[in-house]
Amino acid sequence: MKEFIIEENEAGQRFDKYLAKLLREAPKSFFYKMLRKKNITLNGKKATGNEKLLKGDTIKLFLSDETFDKFAGSSQAARAYCELDIVYEDPDIIIINKPAGMLSQPADDGEPSLVEYLTGYLLKKGDLTEEQLKTFRPSVCNRLDRNTSGMVCAGKSLAGLQFLSRIFHDRTLHKYYICLTKGKIEKPDHIRGYLHKDKKTNKVIVSRQEFKDSLPIETKYRPLGSNGKITLLEVELITGRTHQIRAHLAGTGHPLLGDTKYGDSEFNKQYIRHGVRHQLLHAYRLVIPETDQTFVAPAPELFCKIIKEENLEEAYHENLERNMGLRKNDHHSSSDRNACE
């Protein structure tokens, strides 16, 4: 017999969801059968699996060690270690300024992603234990393309994950990006369209007209400054589809500087000598009206280098200072001290 006591980080979820994490390799039919036969009990009583767990609940599994080990599988969660740029952290959520080149989520090739780095960070910090990893694993709630930098939100606890999932789903969290685009954009705009992803090429097609398997997209933008050749643009992502900003802006004739998938190759060639080999797109501001919080992560070094060389530095700093001074409880990345200096 094995006994488990529900901790705060596990409370609030359905009993069957908890069992699915505890017995990762077991088919659902197995633990429903065990519940019916009272081989799995909740607080000493027969349960159906749809009960909501509370802190302090006792779960008993009357299973042999061999059966438990077989269905529990490996509890070793993947982890990796590197220094993370933390924008904000509390007991439930963490916001990380992801560098370009890092994956947001695990991929099939086994390369460490932000999820593994987050797990390693929380284990080292003592905010997470190996025992807790058996039934809870921290994860990110929004994803940025590998070569897009900026803020990624993650849940350190079940409550944090549920809160972030809700505000992302309800679109009550406002996401703003800055990017450098080809050409001169003079006026703000709110553009709409439809997007379809081609899984074979990992590219998306954007159209003004709805077509089969397409999804509606909305993108707002406003120019912050332009030198006639390049525009520094702030983009608000209303819907969050794959490659939405990159493909949507390219469709308007203003592709992102450095974008090798949707951009202008001849335009991009002019900046290779400056080290630009990926899209200059940065998720720099998050606003959560519900909690009256604004988070800002200044642009990375390469982005700032191009901004300075294209004489757009003043427009960038005016916008950054305005957004970092919104409220007394604003938070910003530790890297802002060296931003675009």
pLDDT at position 212 is: 86
Which tokens go with 230?
Answer: 């390049």
Q: Structure pTM?
A: 0.83
SS3 assignment, position 204: strand
CB 314 within 8 A of CB 281: no
Burial of 305 (0-12, 13-18, 19+ CB in 10 A): middle
Per DSSP (E only), the strands in the chain are 2-5, 40-42, 58-61, 86-89, 93-98, 139-140, 149-155, 174-182, 189-198, 203-207, 215-226, 230-237, 281-288, 293-296, 331-332
Which tokens go with 103?
Answer: 């994956």
Distance CA 73, CA 67 (A): 10
Burial of 325 (0-12, 13-18, 19+ CB in 10 A): exposed
Considering only the C-alpha atoms of the chain, give the largest distance between any 2 of them, rounded to a whole number of Å.
Answer: 74
- Catalytic residue, candidates 90, 92, 145, 336: 145
pLDDT at position 230 is: 97
Which tokens go with 81?
Answer: 């270690």
pLDDT means per 10 residues in the chain (341 residues)?
88 92 90 94 95 95 90 77 96 96 86 94 92 88 95 94 93 96 96 91 91 92 96 95 95 96 96 94 96 94 96 90 58 49 56
pLDDT at position 191 is: 95
Based on the residue annotation, tell me whether 145 is a catalytic residue of this protein: yes
Which tokens go with 105?
Answer: 């989520």
Task: Give percent helix, percent strand, percent coil of the chain, each to the nearest 5.
Answer: 30, 30, 45
pLDDT at position 331 is: 56
pLDDT at position 213 is: 87
Give the tens place of pLDDT for each residue, 274-328: 999 999 999 999 999 999 999 999 999 999 999 999 999 999 998 888 876 544 3
pLDDT at position 340 is: 58
pLDDT at position 135 is: 86
Q: Which residue ranges form the domains of the chain, and what is each CATH number? A: 2-72 (3.10.290.10), 86-169 (3.30.2350.10), 174-338 (3.30.2350.10)
Distance CA 59, CA 39 (A): 10
